[in-house]
Structure 1
């Protein structure tokens, strides 16, 4: 399984962004850029001259849209052409905001309606105080580093606190008020402690058959040691920066300074 697009958060505050076209589609893109703090430029050459990196094209005429897209791309800009995915270098996801927490749901331009429907479902799940929790964790960063100088221990402590039912469960509206109290008594031990080894024996090759605990362990692993038959779809459930090692025929798991998850193929 490969990504058709790479999700990124692009900071545009104070930066020029070209928005071409008239009508509601162009106006919506202008509002989007302004909301993110960007400086909207409505003239193509002016935007190029000012060093814009992004451009939105919302012409009703298909020929004009394609011509401007080619010119902008030739000048080195990334281009989004409204309702014409084949001409887009990037697409705009459906956005959910909770203060500094920004959740983007995209389909690579395949179905904006589906992205919107998923975002509305998430709106109902994520509490309004989620942004306050994020801000509290941001303010506690220095104290957290002092409490857990080791990056792995720090991450494991946060993983445990932010897990379902944990003291900082993001879906619990009261979590934002517990940051200081949690930090005073935080621990990073348990099954996810440094040097721990946990085992997952797959019941099938379908990653959706993982239990909640297994998914949480994979998401917390520093090293994923797996048998040859474990599919990539399962391994992708681990952290992107987790190390991977194939389990050798003798079954030995390498020593590792962190949480090791041993994943076995279905029996």
Structure 2
């Protein structure tokens, strides 16, 4: 171990930054965030340092560095592009046994500035001993995805209850078990969801209970898995998928997304296809209730977004009636994914000033929609689950005033390596679907924005089977 990881208390302490450029500004900002009194020694200050000076966040010493500048400082940072000055700063600091960091010169450092994940009061720091700052930043970026931004609030909340927990549990082992339950259970999830008052109430109720370690009801996470590309998952979705005890998933969740869930979690398939439901919706609702009442953390993983033709509202309605804790994590809906990965913007000021999402398959099996509203000019219409009814969709739009040559696109398995795009117009698309071997899941986009596809398509077409046009 080349450097001992140490967190230093700098609140109200004098610290020196030598240099007036942007690198010096960034180092000064970190010291300011740590509560230090920052002195900057430089002939000229960058614009950002001038702003900090105007806001009284730093003190400026003009002119060139002098060895006496180090006197009384808790630590020193040299951030100039002059090797002679940097060496002089190092010599002066070490002579007074003051910790010194010379940016981009590990040999002149007695301490290293790590890459920081700041969830104050929770702080994670990553260092490569100065050998590869870029690698340290990459590792920090990975940690950023794993550590929710609300961990700081959670830490402050637990600090407020520390003495009460000590008074409640005599044994350190009991205190440890209590905090493990709190920090890995529904209380933590409430804080992450911004429900701090409820979380505090549950902690207090748990402490007041005759048996504070009794089994609690589990929780359901209604998670949007996005359109297929696992890189499109949100940080929260990934975190909940990796901590759930059970994954209840649909047919539209891609294998790549499902593979990111916790390896040892139980997986229950409840997929639906047209005219065939592996598990009826009411049974799915009751399954979620049963699993949660068994104390399990349940991830209800849906393709796209749970609240856009995902029947998520029906499921959480049942959970609310049964008093089951739940949270909803939005996902990128299929329309947004298909639009982005085909270079077809859903809105554009020259072509479309509004966008409408519609389902091509109603509960009663019909597609009896508000066709006059859907056939409006300067509007993009997106149909979910419309492959089987494509003939009716095109005919009805034409019947209600939409020109027969209006562009239409059909996107199969959007955002995945199997993505395929078919373009045409309202008059020709039914024949294209009949001729080609097109399979669900598919999305239908109608509107003049499709004209922008060839110009705006950025997705590497070699990553999928091909683009076909009618």
Normalization by structure 2: what TM-score?
0.36
Residue in 2 that maps onto 1:84? 105
Change (3 A) 1:97 1:153: same
CA RMSD of aligned residues (A): 2.9
- How many angstroms apart in 2 are the aligned matches of 1:42 and 1:31? 11
Change (3 A) 1:47 1:10: farther
1:97 aligns with 2:118: yes
How far apart are 1:103 and its partner, in Å? 1.8
Q: Is the 8 A contact 2:11 2:35 kept in 1?
A: yes
Change (3 A) 1:161 1:60: same
Q: Is the 8 A contact 2:67 2:89 kept in 1?
A: no
Residue in 2 that maps onto 1:48? 70
Q: Is the 8 A contact 2:77 2:102 kept in 1?
A: yes
Residue in 2 that maps onto 1:4? 2
- How many angstroms apart in 2 are the aligned matches of 1:123 and 1:171? 20
- How many angstroms apart in 1 are the aligned matches of 2:23 and 2:171? 49
Q: Is the 8 A contact 2:165 2:175 kept in 1?
A: yes
Change (3 A) 1:183 1:149: farther
Give the secondary structure class of the aligned counterpart of 1:114: helix
Q: Is the 8 A contact 2:70 2:92 kept in 1?
A: no
2:135 to 114, 117, 140: 114
Residue in 1 that maps onto 2:342? none
Q: Is the 8 A contact 1:105 1:119 kept in 2?
A: yes
- How many angstroms apart in 2 are the aligned matches of 1:154 and 1:136? 16
Give the secondary structure class of the aligned counterpart of 1:72: helix
1:150 aligns with 2:171: yes
Question: What aligned pairs does 1:140-219 form with structure 2 within 5 A after superposition?
Answer: 140-163=161-184, 166-169=185-188, 173-174=192-193, 176=196, 177-185=198-206, 187=212
Give the secondary structure class of the aligned counterpart of 1:42: strand
Residue in 2 that maps onto 1:30? 28
Q: Is the 8 A contact 2:12 2:36 kept in 1?
A: yes
Ranked by relative contact order (alpha carbons within 8 Å, sequence separation 6 or more), the top structure is 1
- How many angstroms apart in 2 are the aligned matches of 1:4 and 1:173? 36
Give the aligned length.
188
- How many angstroms apart in 2 are the aligned matches of 1:171 and 1:121? 24
Larger radius of gyration: 2
Structure 1 unaligned segments of length 5 or more: list them: 191-211, 214-267
- How many angstroms apart in 1 are the aligned matches of 2:17 and 2:130? 19
Normalization by structure 1: what TM-score?
0.61
Change (3 A) 1:172 1:79: same
Q: Is the 8 A contact 1:17 1:47 kept in 2?
A: no
Give the secondary structure class of the aligned counterpart of 1:9: coil
Q: Is the 8 A contact 2:16 2:39 kept in 1?
A: yes
Q: Is the 8 A contact 1:53 1:78 kept in 2?
A: yes
Structure 2 unaligned segments of length 5 or more: list them: 42-65, 216-262, 265-470
Change (3 A) 1:171 1:93: farther
Give the secondary structure class of the aligned counterpart of 1:96: strand
Give the secondary structure class of the aligned counterpart of 1:80: strand
Q: Is the 8 A contact 2:187 2:199 kept in 1?
A: yes
How far apart are 1:184 and its partner, in Å? 3.1
- How many angstroms apart in 2 are the aligned matches of 1:46 and 1:150? 53
How far apart are 1:129 and its partner, in Å? 2.2
- How many angstroms apart in 2 are the aligned matches of 1:57 and 1:66? 9
How far apart are 1:77 and its partner, in Å? 0.2
Give the secondary structure class of the aligned counterpart of 2:192: coil
